[in-house]
Every structure is written in C-alpha cells, then in structure tokens.
Amino acid sequence: MIIVLLGPPGAGKGTQAKVLAQKLGLPHISTGDLLRQNVAKGTDLGTQAKDFMNKGLLVPDELVTRMLDERFGLADAKNGFILDGYPRNINQAEVLDSLLEKRNTSVSMVVYLDTSEKVVIQRLSGRLVCRLCGANFHLINMPPRVKMICDECGGELYQRTDDKEETIRKRLQVYLEETSGLIKYYGDKRNLHRLSADGDKDIVLQEILTLAKEYNDNPKV
Ligand code: AMP
C-alpha cells in the first residue's frame, strides 16, 4: 500500500507517518528527512539543496526525483510506503505516477491533513526534533520530560533552521502557490481523503488507520 500524506508544513505529516509506518509495517519516506540527511553528510545533493531549504523554497524537482527513485528501489519499499513531503507540485505528482508505474504500482490513497494557518505557525514555531530518531516534540504543547532530550531515545533535540517565523511564512506561501493545487489533482483522481488536522493527533491517526483498513479490505486498483 502506498499512502501519500498531503498538507501544509506543520500539518503533522511527519508525526503521523512515523506512527503509521510502525502500525502498518511500511517504511516512512520523507523527502525533507532525506534532504536533511544529505545536508548533514555534506553530499553533493545536500550542498545543492541547502540554500533552497534555508530559504523555505522547494529544492529543484530533478534533484528530488533522483533521490526518491533511489529510495523507492531499496528492498524495504517493495510492499509500499508512507510518503511524506512529496509530491509538492503537479510536476512531482506526475513524476511520482511514472516512477510507480515503472515499478508496476500506483498510489493507493492520498490523505490531506487540512490545517489552519494559525495552528501551523503555532506548531512549527515551537517544534523540537530529535537528532537521532527524528521524533517531534513541542516547547509548549508536548514538551520532552527532560529539557532538550528525546523521550524516545535520549537523543538531543533541536529546532530546525527553517522553523523560524520568516521562513515558516515563506514555506506557507510556497505551499499555497505550488502544493495546494494537488488537492484538486488528487480529488479529480478520486483517491483523496480530507481530514481535519487542527485537533488531537491520536484522533487523526485513528481516522487514517480506518481509511487504510477500508482500503486493505477493498483495494482499488
Ligand atoms: P519538510 O521536512 O517536508 O518540511 O521539508 C523541508 C524542506 O525540504 C522544504 O522546505 C524544501 O526546501 C525541501 N523539500 C522537502 N521535500 C521536497 C520536495 N518534494 N520538493 C522540493 N523540495 C522539498
């Protein structure tokens, strides 16, 4: 099963994808995480992507496509995955269809996490991320038990460089201009599910799991 999570930055795509991945036994593929790993390792791709990311802009499609194609080719992705942060524009959605077609598969369902701008800014400006396991916390809504230490693995927590207010606003603008058009794109293909994601993350998770079960019970090809 291939699930695409859509929604603005701060909608909770990463948080949901991590738990879904565990519950469904599928890998979580986040283009943002893959890019950040490349930046941290100082690869060619990381060097090319870094400035775009720090400005809140999209990394050029061809760089992301190559990275994603390699990731899809790894053994753990052969039964499907949870895709978070991709596609981000219509071109990427078309690329995704062709990358999957070449592997004789397709998107099973798209879940749109509908989130208000107020909630997005509040979540992102307090977000803390674990350097080791990627778990997310929040300075106010979900503080770690020990200051700046991950509850899950004891790793160090940090604030992403693109989670400062000015960059958050830019990322939201990019989302509105480039990514929100995907709601219509997938709506037209009839496999889009819209969930309200302003509230409790556990309720959203249950809703997605219900959709996944319905799909598994009655897969649409
Ligand atoms: P995210 O972790 O999904 O919020 O992504 C962080 C940043 O990585 C974005 O602001 C972009 O600069 C870059 N990025 C992540 N995914 C993509 C993508 N599919 N296409 C282009 N840039 C991306």
Question: Which pLDDT value is given to residue 65?
Answer: 96
Number of Cβ atoms within 10 Å of the Cβ of 73? 11
Lowest mean pLDDT among 88-92, 133-137, 217-221: 217-221
Question: Per the domain annotation, does 99 fall within a domain?
Answer: yes
- 41 in a structural domain: no
Q: Whose alpha carbon is nearest atom 5 of ligand 1?
A: 32
Give nearest CA residue, ligand 1 atom 8.
Answer: 32
Q: Is the backbone peptide bond immediately before 87 cis, with ω within 30 degrees of 0?
A: yes
Structure token pair of residue 138: 């929040």
| pLDDT tens per residue, range 18-33 | 999 999 999 999 999 9
CATH code, 132:
3.40.50.300
* Nearest atom within ligand 1 for CA of residue 87: 19
Q: What is the pTM of this model?
A: 0.93
In a domain, 172, yes or no: yes
**How far from the centroid of its chain's Cα atoms is residue 175's Cα?**
13
- Catalytic residue positions, numbered: 13, 88, 127, 160, 171
Whether the per-residue pLDDT at 221 is higher than 90: the answer is: no
Is 81 among the domain residues?
yes
Which pLDDT tens digit goes with each residue over 158-195? 999 999 989 999 999 999 999 999 999 998 877 899 99
Q: Within a 13 Å sphere around the CA of 219, how many CA atoms are in the beta-carbon half?
A: 9
Pocket test for ligand 1, best of 48, 66, 72, 88 (most atoms within 8 A of CB): 88
* Residue corresponding to tokens 């693109």: 162
Residue that has been written with the tokens 């293909």 in this structure: 189
For atom 19 of ligand 1, the residue with the nearest CA is 86
Residue nearest to atom 10 of ligand 1 (CA): 56
> Which domain range does residue 186 map to?
2-27+74-217
Residue 102 lies in a domain: yes
Per-residue pLDDT at 188: 80
| C-beta of residue 186 within 8 angstroms of C-beta of residue 93 | yes
CA 86 to ligand 1: nearest atom:
19
Q: How many domains does the chain have?
A: 1
Tell me, yes or no, whether 6 lies in a domain: yes
Separation of 86 CA from ligand 1 center, angstroms?
A: 8
Residue 129's CB is within 10 A of a number of other CB atoms, namely 20
What confidence score (pLDDT) does residue 168 get? 93
Q: Are 214 and 28 in contact (CB under 8 A)?
A: no
Q: Are 113 and 205 in contact (CB under 8 A)?
A: no
Mean local confidence (pLDDT), 87-104? 96
Of residues 205, 216, 214, the one with CA closest to residue 113: 205
Q: Long-range CB contacts (< 8 A, 24+ apart) of 176-181? A: 178/58, 178/88, 178/89, 179/6, 179/8, 179/87, 179/88, 179/89, 180/8, 181/89, 181/90
The verdict on residue 51 lying in a domain is no
Give CA–CA dist 24/213, Å, rounded: 10
3-state secondary structure of 26: coil
Q: Is the pLDDT of residue 202 over 90?
A: yes
Please, what is the average pLDDT of the chain?
Answer: 94
Give residue ranges with CB within 6 A of ligand 1. 9, 31-32, 35, 52-53, 56-59, 64, 85-86, 88, 92, 162, 171
Tens of pLDDT along 30-75? 999 999 999 999 999 999 999 999 999 999 999 999 999 999 999 9
Which one, of 190, 16, 6, 27, lies nearest residue 89 by Cα? 6
Sequence-distant (6+) residues with CB within 8 A of 185 are 90, 93
> Is 103 inside any structural domain?
yes
Reply yes or no on whether the pLDDT at 145 is more than 60: yes
Matching residue, tokens 């400062």? 164
Contact 2, 169 (CB under 8 A): no
